[in-house]
A and B are shown apart, each in its own frame.
Chain A
């Protein structure tokens, strides 16, 4: 983070659109002004958070302007800058449940509209269907006539009441969204069904890992024994109960098998009980919560990576493990079969027996030495998923979306009523009208013309790269962010 400085260059006052135009002429590609919105961002850790960050960095590298909007995390509120001038707005909104803000569809409109106007945003890109702020932003962006893109990171069932309700809300939220991105083909099928979408407007762009962060290091592992590594949050959905069955089963069979479990969660107690019951303290190590940078150091100590998830849209963990040169054993659920080729992964059914068989197969391969070396696995995996590739493909989506028209109000109401069922459709059409009236009121209170255009920090002509006063940099806190 560095303090913002305004230099003596005239173009800081001209609208961002004309800068984009100049940039576009210079580089020959279309540039967009993108606003990523999600409740989930650093300092919270997880797949969505790193996806947003890495994608934004790669898009900035390609000359686009990117800002991120999320909610305040504790004392972290106001405006912050990350590397390469990536601007993050931590909005002071109340958190309701699981780091997701409350949604009223209206209360965030004034601030989001102000941000969209001052940053001259052209495309609003929301992430994660669990984030209500993302849905709010989509709703407001459509009211304001901006192009919208949504990325779904998770799978959802259809059976219980809660999923019926959330799927209905997703239908409403996505029915007039320009384009949707899913992280795997399974996730695409799921989203298309949940939100009753035309599959043509859903693109599949996988997640990626930074292969330079996950390099193999065979010297770190102890070849006198076989180590199975598990890195995941210890919760029910990650299949920790299965793990508690596998550990005693295999430890009795193979005296040289060790388990290394990284992660924290409510199911830790189950593993501790198993360890206690079978006296496996020297063979099962529970490492607790891991920092992201420690994950690689844990992974390289193992021979086999075990993933017991019960549902997964795109499993980053197995790609990271394979990138570190480990043999991956995983359950065949969700999008996992699409992620790695068959020779790098052993897929099992989600049962103790099948997973034990899979692990035994992996152990046999290690003993017979038929496995490829970690170096070869790494070299193969590192070509699969890169953030540059993700950014390139996402850019294509933006290019496509920028040419589309945003539905005008009357068409949008028609779409809502015809597409979401008469009752829900009418309710949300009413909300859309109210939000439009609210927007008209806000435009009358503070017209767009008196909103200062924010200084663009990112991109080749941005304030960040030009370094007006390179000698002075320091961090500071925003003092009057007093909402």
Chain B
């Protein structure tokens, strides 16, 4: 198992773990920074301060209780549906590619793509918000057309690693895909 520290497009530190189970079976997982206590408390404080300001203006204590509920529910929703702690990619040369994203709450989302469907793994460029980024994606084979691409599945969508990290993953994937061919 190797571990390297890279940066995401946003500048945050991310860790890339590579596990080599066999020549044709590798797993890559990108771990995002955990939720910082600092940012959590900053958001909570700002929401509560705003609520207190409203309370001073309106003299209605409902505002304060609403603020507490909003922070609690917001935190649960954020941890359960938004914040992804780890994204991993398991490539098994003979079987297929499995993508797992684990949320901060522990929820896991897994997608599996059969090897026969995979046409290629490539690095592509896209305009994302006010940035132009590189991303890794899987090209799915069009069942009707041997050379066509039916769909593009982007990888590491939440962590968005930078190019150097993507190149590492890309090369390993290509090695396995090459083995499949021969």
Residue numbers of A with Cβ under 8 A of B are 3-6, 8, 12-13, 77-79, 89, 91-92, 110-111, 114-115, 118, 446-447, 450, 452-454, 472, 474-483
Contacts and interface: CB of A to CB of B under 8 A. Distances in A.
Contacts of B131: 110-111, 114, 446
B162 to A, nearest CB: 5
A110 B120 CA distance: 32
B67 interface: no
Given A6-B166, A92-B127, 16 more contacts: A6-B163, A78-B126, A446-B10, A447-B11, A450-B10, A450-B11, A472-B120, A474-B120, A474-B139, A476-B149, A477-B152, A478-B124, A478-B125, A479-B126, A480-B135, A483-B128
8 contacts: A3-B139, A4-B124, A89-B127, A447-B11, A450-B9, A452-B133, A474-B119, A476-B124
A261 B113 CA distance: 56
B123 A450 contact: no
Contacts of A92: 127
B122 A483 contact: no
Contact of A480 (B122, B130, B149, B157): B157
Contacts of A78: 125-127
Nearest to A475: B149
B127 A476 contact: no
Contact of B154 (A13, A79, A114, A480): A480
B171 interface: yes
Interface in B105-148: 119-120, 122-135, 137, 139, 147-148
Contact of A474 (B127, B147, B164): B147
A452 B131 CA distance: 11
Contacts of A481: 126-128
A479 B137 contact: yes
Interface of B: 7, 9-11, 119-120, 122-135, 137, 139, 147-149, 152, 154, 157, 162-164, 166-167, 170-171
B139 A476 contact: yes
Contacts of A478: 124-127
The 9 A-B pairs with the shortest beta carbon distances in the complex, nearest first, are A110-B130, A452-B163, A478-B126, A450-B11, A481-B127, A79-B125, A481-B126, A479-B152, A480-B126
A447 B12 CA distance: 12
Nearest to B129: A483
Contacts of A91: 127
Contacts of A13: 163-164
Contacts of A453: 163
Determine chain B's interface SS by DSSP, over half rule.
strand
Nearest to A472: B120
A115 B132 contact: yes
A6 B121 CA distance: 11
A114 B132 contact: yes
A483 B119 CA distance: 27
A79 B127 contact: yes
B169 to A, nearest CB: 11
Contacts of A480: 126, 128, 135, 154, 157
Contacts of B124: 3-4, 476, 478
Contacts of B11: 446-447, 450
Contacts of A111: 127, 130-132
Contacts of A479: 126, 137, 152, 154
Nearest to A473: B147
A6 B123 contact: yes
A477 B9 CA distance: 21
A14 B136 CA distance: 20
A483 B139 CA distance: 22
Contacts of A475: 149
Contacts of B122: 3-5, 476
B130 to A, nearest CB: 4
Contacts of A450: 7, 9-11, 162
Contacts of B129: 483
Contacts of B135: 480
A3 B124 CA distance: 7
Nearest to B162: A452
Given A447-B11, A452-B134, A483-B128, A8 B171 contact: yes
Contacts of B164: 13
Contacts of A476: 122, 124, 139, 149, 152
B113 to A, nearest CB: 15
Contacts of B147: 474
Contacts of A446: 10-11, 131
Nearest to A450: B11
Contacts of A89: 127, 132
A105 to B, nearest CB: 16
Nearest to B152: A479
Contacts of B149: 474-476
B134 A79 contact: no
Nearest to B151: A479
A483 B125 CA distance: 14
Given A8-B171, A446-B11, A474-B149, A454 B139 contact: no
